[in-house]
């Protein structure tokens, strides 16, 4: 290998779009879902700078442009461009100063997790109560900062994970499943997945958005559903995907998760009765978190199960419903 082709440590201020970089340290030391990647835009450079490192490794052979050696251009990463939608987003969804709150390292992890959970509940309630284009768009934008925090701040992520055990309302359930699914994806894939974690996480949080079309009377009914009512409830898997499509906010990840999160390994799920490898891994992840939260949450018509009892039931009684590899990784989250 020629000297010019060898990986070289490069100061943050010398990074450019087109360079293939390797982040220092392990998963928990930065907020990227992969440690090695091609820089595609200035926002990624700004995000690297915010990670706190003074330099990263640049691989010239995998870069689209060569790093300049022995020369330090006065490069200042451009601030991320503000997204300018073509429509009115409506009133702000996220609270004022939320981004600053997420990046404030002086806040204790337990306190940060508690406030973040409450913010998520408030925001999710608004989205599910009025799932219009503006609310969904703002929610997906806000999820980006939440995901960065969960991937980079292990202590806060752990504290937030422990908060996922409250009363079972639809928006509370959505937050619980979202947080657990993100943690489970991280446990399964580490830094190897090439997929869009922001879109994936938004889909986890919005997996039950189709229930916004169901009346509260039916949604919170303590009575056993009739056949007709059961079909109305099960339609939320399709309705949610259609809702995002109508709002022009459908992604590959949301299409998979919203339509498949109630499919089961043995083919007993809905709406398509998929089985085994016909079910995408993203949906298997969401389904595992979804079942656990349903078992451990208090509902009008059933008491909640203790953690150990819920995991035991998931292993034996629902063992044919869930993917074994995904469930095994889920159990490890509690150790």
pLDDT in tens, 264-286: 999 999 999 999 999 999 999 99
Percent with pLDDT over 70 in the chain: 85
What was the pLDDT predicted at 79?
Answer: 58
Residue 65 gets the label, from left (phi > 0), alpha (psi -120 to 50) or beta, of beta
Query: Could you say which DSSP state residue 27 is in?
Result: G
Which range has highest mean pLDDT (81-90, 134-143, 251-260)? 251-260
pLDDT at residue 29 is higher than 80:
no
The position carrying tokens 């079909």 is 231
What is the rounded average pLDDT for all residues in the chain?
84
pLDDT of amino acid 324: 93
What is the CB-side half-sphere exposure of residue 215 using CA atoms within 13 A?
A: 6
Using CA atoms, how far apart are residues 128 and 150, in angstroms rounded to an integer? 23
pLDDT at 164: 74
Q: Is the pLDDT at 165 greater than 80, yes or no?
A: no
Over residues 115-141, the pLDDT tens digits come to 998 888 888 888 888 888 899 989 888
Residue pLDDT, tens place only, 290-308: 999 989 887 656 778 888 9
What are the extents of the domains in the chain? 3-62, 98-332
In tens, the pLDDT along 228-243 reads 999 999 999 999 999 9
The mean pLDDT value for 137-162 works out to 85
Contacts within 8 Å (CB) and 24+ apart, 99-108:
99/145, 102/145, 102/146, 102/148, 102/149, 103/50, 103/145
The whole-angstrom separation of Cα 177 and Cα 197 is 15
Residue 274: per-residue pLDDT:
95
Torsion of CA 117, 163, 324, 253, to 10 degrees: 0
Average pLDDT over residues 195-201: 82
Tell me the pTM.
0.70
Contacts of 81 (CB under 8 A, 6+ apart): 43
pLDDT higher than threshold 80 for residue 2: no
The DSSP string of 250-294 is --HHHHHHHHHTT--TTS--SSS---GGGS-HHHHHHHHHHHHHH
Listing DSSP states for 66-84 in one string gives PPPTT------PPPPPPP-
Q: pLDDT value at position 162?
A: 79
pLDDT in the model for residue 318? 74
Q: Is residue 18 within 8 Å of residue 39, measured between CB atoms?
A: yes
Radius of gyration of the chain (CA): 22
pLDDT for residue 172: 83
pLDDT at residue number 149: 83
Report pLDDT for 71.
47
258 pLDDT band (50/70/90 cuts)?
very high
Q: What is the mean pLDDT of residues 54-77?
A: 70
Q: Quick one: which H or E segment has residue 48?
A: helix 42-50
**pLDDT mean over 146-162:** 84
What is the average per-residue pLDDT within 156-166?
77
Could you tell me the fold of the domain covering 98-332? Hypothetical protein af1432 (1.10.3210)
Active-site position among 16, 140, 211, 318: 211
Least confident among 57-66, 76-85, 96-105: 76-85
pLDDT band at residue 72 under the 50/70/90 scheme: very low
Least confident residue range of 3-12, 50-59, 178-187: 3-12
| 211 has catalytic annotation | yes
**Residue 207 scores a pLDDT above 60:** yes
CB half-sphere exposure, 280, CA atoms < 13 A: 16
What confidence score (pLDDT) does residue 70 get? 47
| Per-residue pLDDT at 153 | 83
């Amino acid at each position: 290998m020629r000297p010019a082709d060898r990986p070289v440590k490069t100061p943050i201020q010398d990074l450019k779009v087109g360079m293939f970089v390797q982040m220092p340290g392990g998963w928990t030391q930065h907020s990227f879902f992969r440690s090695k990647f091609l820089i595609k835009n200035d926002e990624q450079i700004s995000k690297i700078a915010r990670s706190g490192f003074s330099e990263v490794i640049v691989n010239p052979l995998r870069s689209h442009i060569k790093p300049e050696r022995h020369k330090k251009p006065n490069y200042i990463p451009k601030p991320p461009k503000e997204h300018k939608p073509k429509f009115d987003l409506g009133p702000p969804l996220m609270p004022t100063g939320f981004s600053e709150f997420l990046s404030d390292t002086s806040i204790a992890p337990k306190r940060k997790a508690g406030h973040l959970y409450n913010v998520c509940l408030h925001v999710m309630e608004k989205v599910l109560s009025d799932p219009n284009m503006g609310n969904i768009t703002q929610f997906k934008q806000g999820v980006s900062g939440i995901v960065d925090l969960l991937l980079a701040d292990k202590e806060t992520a752990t504290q937030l994970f422990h908060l996922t055990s409250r009363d079972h309302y639809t928006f509370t359930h959505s937050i619980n499943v979202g947080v657990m699914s993100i943690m489970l994806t991280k446990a399964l894939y580490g830094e190897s997945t090439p997929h869009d974690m922001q879109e994936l996480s938004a889909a986890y949080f919005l997996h039950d958005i189709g229930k916004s079309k169901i009346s509260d009377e039916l949604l919170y009914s303590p009575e056993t559903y009739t056949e007709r009512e059961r079909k109305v409830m099960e339609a939320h898997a399709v309705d949610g995907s259609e809702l995002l499509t109508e709002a022009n906010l459908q992604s590959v990840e949301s299409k998979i998760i919203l339509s498949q999160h109630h499919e089961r390994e043995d083919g007993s799920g809905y709406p398509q009765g998929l089985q085994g490898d016909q079910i995408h891994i993203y949906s298997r992840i969401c389904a595992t978190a979804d079942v656990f939260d349903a078992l451990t949450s208090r509902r009008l018509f059933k008491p909640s199960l203790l953690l150990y009892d819920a995991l035991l039931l998931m292993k034996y009684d629902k063992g044919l419903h869930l993917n074994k590899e995904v469930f095994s990784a889920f159990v490890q989250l509690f150790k």
